[in-house]
Structure 1
């Protein structure tokens, strides 16, 4: 399909860099969250909180792989601002808790590069692409009720994440497992990213323009359950906040599955 403006080579190459950063995180914190003392930028305790961060990394990995092969800017635009805000939050958390990191390690160098570089690079590439884009109508418009649902749930996640970042004690004081302030802020970044992804999808308003971001809506719930079950003895499964969070992630997964219907070729060609 020849419609819209193409993804420029610099942006495609940067998506490749993001795949590299994501793969490095998955090979460490997702697969072996119990070994963060040696394989990650900082030692994360309890282990279940490292496993939870690993679930989020795994849930976004397919997005950048899909973005690398997508041909049209309109089909990848949905992920740009969530990526800019997310990486900025993680960078801010790094600066706030600098003393908690193993700053002399290779793992920290990789972590720091993965959050220091993306905000300015994504921002510059966004405006470069905007100057080249063509205004075209949506092929598969999203129904208004679904756009409202995306926006409402996205705003809830975004507000919750921002509040938890500013006041990490909101996250650490009463939860289903122990959480440090650093891990709370790192997790808050993911919550904000998820919320902004849904708001961005509502803004785009077309199925073909949001499909690339859908793994981030669909995968967190099953991956979080798998990761938490690996360290089930560290989790209070009856805690009200955990139950409420799982309900919200279930709603997000259902939205993602509904949006995933249709012809994916229109999102990649």
Structure 2
């Protein structure tokens, strides 16, 4: 019997009630409209980002990539607002802190690239507050996870967890390289980058790495179900973006086929994994209570 299953009959005590606090729900509700507007502007008007968004993004493929991250974020924060249990969304909070924090640092490093408009004021306000607010909520909520599975849940096998964590850590390492050495990435990436868009791309790649790191110590599918749904939405959006922005892809280097191939493999692999877990969960007997 696994450690997770062994804990299944242990009742939650004290503060470990798996409750999502009202403040957490309200912050999630407040974030969603910003993500919706940003994703819409980036997908619908990539050529007018200098006018309508916080800064001019070129080529549009970089705008699409950021919008793809926002697409997954919309699903995640909607689910946070509606979550019945804290552990269903807990592993997403560190990823949001790293992503938003990285974008704040990138903004401060490249203030001269940003438009002096309302969109930049909103952008600056959002990224100057979100990483700290989400981090504070994650810390306050942390002890509320009782560490037990749902009544009907699936334990993710260790080889699968470690394999997905390795994929995530590879994405995190690549994202860190793009963020810390953007000048080097400009010559090697799959489409043209500036130092700012290189760091933004690195921040986007960090999301998968931080989320998947949680698989190293948590085997509950219920703890990752929402997050993998969000990642799948982002991957679908990235795949569509690569098609829509294909004119910017630099096929004469190895990075482009490698990136396109990795997106295709990740989309198929994540989709198959999620369907497998859902199928097992539907067939599973209740684990507790």
Shared fold per TM-score greater than 0.5:
yes
1:78/1:201 contact within 8 Å kept: no
Match of 1:38 in 2: 51
Q: Which moved more, 1:235-244 or 1:30-39?
A: 235-244
1:97/1:182 contact within 8 Å kept: yes
1:228 to 1:248, Cα distance in 2 relative to 1, 3 A? closer
2:35/2:70 contact within 8 Å kept: yes
1:30/1:58 contact within 8 Å kept: no
CA deviation after TM superposition for structure 1 residue 175, in Å: 2.7
**TM-score (normalizing by structure 2):** 0.84
Q: Pick from 6, 14, 21 the counterpart of residue 34 of structure 2.
A: 21
1:242 aligns with 2:256: yes
Name the SS of the counterpart of 2:192 in structure 1: coil
Q: Pick from 267, 271, 274 the counterpart of residue 259 of structure 1.
A: 274
CA distance in 2, matches of 1:228, 1:135: 39
Q: Which moved more, 1:216-225 or 1:186-195?
A: 216-225
**TM-score (normalizing by structure 1):** 0.89
State how many pairs are aligned: 263
CA distance in 2, matches of 1:255, 1:174: 26
CA distance in 2, matches of 1:199, 1:133: 17
Match of 1:209 in 2: 223
CA distance in 2, matches of 1:154, 1:234: 26
Q: Which moved more, 1:198-207 or 1:209-218?
A: 198-207
CA distance in 2, matches of 1:84, 1:171: 24
CA distance in 1, matches of 2:219, 2:183: 36
- Greater Rg, structure 1 or structure 2? 2
Pairing of 1:51-130 with structure 2 (within 5 A): 51-102=64-115, 104-130=116-142
- Once the two structures are superposed, what CA deviation does each residue of 1:182-202 show, in whole Å capped at 9, x if it has no partner? 001011001011211111244
Match of 1:152 in 2: 166
CA deviation after TM superposition for structure 1 residue 223, in Å: 1.7
Unaligned runs of 5+ in 2: 1-10
Unaligned runs of 5+ in 1: none
Name the SS of the counterpart of 2:224 in structure 1: helix
1:183 aligns with 2:197: yes
2:88/2:224 contact within 8 Å kept: yes
Name the SS of the counterpart of 1:77 in structure 2: coil
CA deviation after TM superposition for structure 1 residue 235, in Å: 2.1
CA deviation after TM superposition for structure 1 residue 160, in Å: 0.7
Q: Pick from 185, 203, 215 the counterpart of residue 171 of structure 1.
A: 185
Name the SS of the counterpart of 2:139 in structure 1: helix
CA RMSD across the alignment: 2.2
Name the SS of the counterpart of 1:117 in structure 2: helix
CA distance in 2, matches of 1:83, 1:5: 20
1:33 to 1:202, Cα distance in 2 relative to 1, 3 A? farther
